[in-house]
Amino acid sequence: MPRNTPIQRVSRSVTLLRAFLIVSALLLAAGGFVLGTVLTHALRAQALDDAKRSLAQYTSGVLGSSLVYGSQLKVGPTATTVVRRDLAERPDILSVKVWRSDGVLAWTTLAPERIGRRFPVSGDLREVIEHGKPGASFEDTHGAEDASEADLGVESVIEVYAPVLAAGEVVGAYEIYADATPLEASIAGRKQVIWLTTAGVFFALWGLLVLLVRGASDTLRRQTTTLRERSVALANAYEALERNALEAVESLNATVEAKDPYTAGHSLRVQRIALAMGDELGFTPIEMDALRFGALFHDIGKIAIPDGILTKPGRLTAEEYDEIKRHSAEGARIIEKFSRLREAVPIVRHHHERWDGTGYPDGLSTDAIPVAAAIAGLADAWDAMTTDRPYQEALPLDAAMNEVRNGRGTQFIPVVVDAFFAVANRRPEELWIDEAQPLAAS
């Protein structure tokens, strides 16, 4: 897997910062909404609790002196007068009821004809009578006992239940209706303050994050620009170095051919023949690129072979032949130093291997031999057979063809031989066999 470049890593960091900014905005908005909701609910609950306590204490203080505690809770005859006098100070109180613990309505400020009637003990009334716990809520009036309160002329009321205690025991309950309009207005105003404050705080936090992220992004962009400029400079330098390296190798290759006038142009001819066979076998562009350089530099290792052996006009001795055989391994050692030629190293090293395993330098056989190396080897052998050498005259066309045909499955890989003859049939000019034979050295 290719490694990420510094520019890619910096670009990814900038993208992550932007994503963080978006996510942080969403999280802050969600947090602000949750906090605002919690605070407004707490405000509403606190306001209702304060109203409950205030209304219960006030009503108990007004009506307490009018209550008669006997076998059953009763309200004295002065209650109506007292209530009219004292409750006038609290215009928000719309209605007051006094309940006995058995559900009988003992007294009420509205529709007194209901006094003495029994109603079901349920909901908040039951809670306060059974457990002595006061309760309050914002309500719409409903139910049979609330028929009169339904015409109070307000949209929303606060309904409060408070226990009536005698000797520490619950003997009844107050039910108080108060106009909720002032309290709702107060709550709405405070809620607005809460939401505006919460929004301001979270917007301020997000603004700080934006500034921090922008600063980091600017820094990363500058780094990206610097890295991109350096990468371009390095790429240009690498390209120039690569060109210089190839020129140096080509110079070495030219030096090898200059040692022996009989091999002038040999490397270029081998390259042309090899590329024709590679194309016939459907090589990929990358494989063709490796073959192009491997065929061109297949004999570059001869730079390490003494001139006396390279240019010897007669047959080589066994020792001299062993020295010559070093050139393929030496050539591979030379070009492996250049990254541009790395893929061509097996071609240079193994172009003298044979299908039957008697080649050199590693004695590879059959499918162990790289196909590209076998192509270069056959192209090399063909050019050697069809050009004059100090120790051998060029073979006639038919004889050279027979040599290749007879070497199929012994010296040469069968599929490479088949590709060779396919080129000979379709593109003979690639093998120079459309010219007069034998070919003279150029």
Is-contact 268 296, C-beta < 8 A?
yes
On whether both 182 and 264 belong to a single domain, the answer is no
On whether both 310 and 418 belong to a single domain, the answer is yes
Residues 5-20: tens digit of each pLDDT: 665 666 676 677 777 7
On whether both 177 and 277 belong to a single domain, the answer is no
* φ, ψ for residue 90, nearest 5 deg: -120, 80
End of a domain among 186, 212, 233?
186
On whether both 180 and 272 belong to a single domain, the answer is no
Asked if the structure places residue 421 within a domain, the reply is yes
On whether both 76 and 178 belong to a single domain, the answer is yes
Residues 144-195: tens digit of each pLDDT: 346 666 667 677 888 899 998 888 888 889 898 888 888 888 888 888 888 8
Asked if the structure places residue 397 within a domain, the reply is yes
**Domain residue limits at 279:** 260-431
On whether both 179 and 266 belong to a single domain, the answer is no
Tokens of 54: 């205030």
End of a domain among 165, 186, 207?
186
Distance CA 7, CA 9 (A): 5
Written as one letter, the residue type at 195 is: W
pLDDT at residue 261, rounded to an integer: 57
Residues 352-365: tens digit of each pLDDT: 999 999 999 999 99
Is-contact 242 340, C-beta < 8 A?
yes
Is-contact 267 253, C-beta < 8 A?
yes
Asked if the structure places residue 194 within a domain, the reply is no
**CATH number where 87 lies:** 3.30.450.20
Q: How many structural domains are present in the chain?
A: 2
On whether both 423 and 292 belong to a single domain, the answer is yes
Asked if the structure places residue 233 within a domain, the reply is no
CA atoms within 13 A on the CB side of 142: 5
On whether both 142 and 271 belong to a single domain, the answer is no
Chain mean position to CA 165: 68
Distance CA 368, CA 223 (A): 49
Q: Which residues contact 184 (CB under 8 A, 6 or more apart)?
A: 138, 156
Residues 249-302: tens digit of each pLDDT: 666 666 666 666 556 688 889 999 999 999 999 999 999 999 999 998 898 888
- Among residues 386, 395, 289, 383, the alpha carbon closest in space to that of 342 is found at 289
Q: How far apart are the first and last CA of the chain?
A: 48
End of a domain among 134, 167, 186?
186
- Among residues 169, 44, 195, 180, the alpha carbon closest in space to that of 100 is found at 169
Distance CA 289, CA 192 (A): 74
**CATH number where 312 lies:** 1.10.3210.10
Quote the DSSP letter at residue 392: B
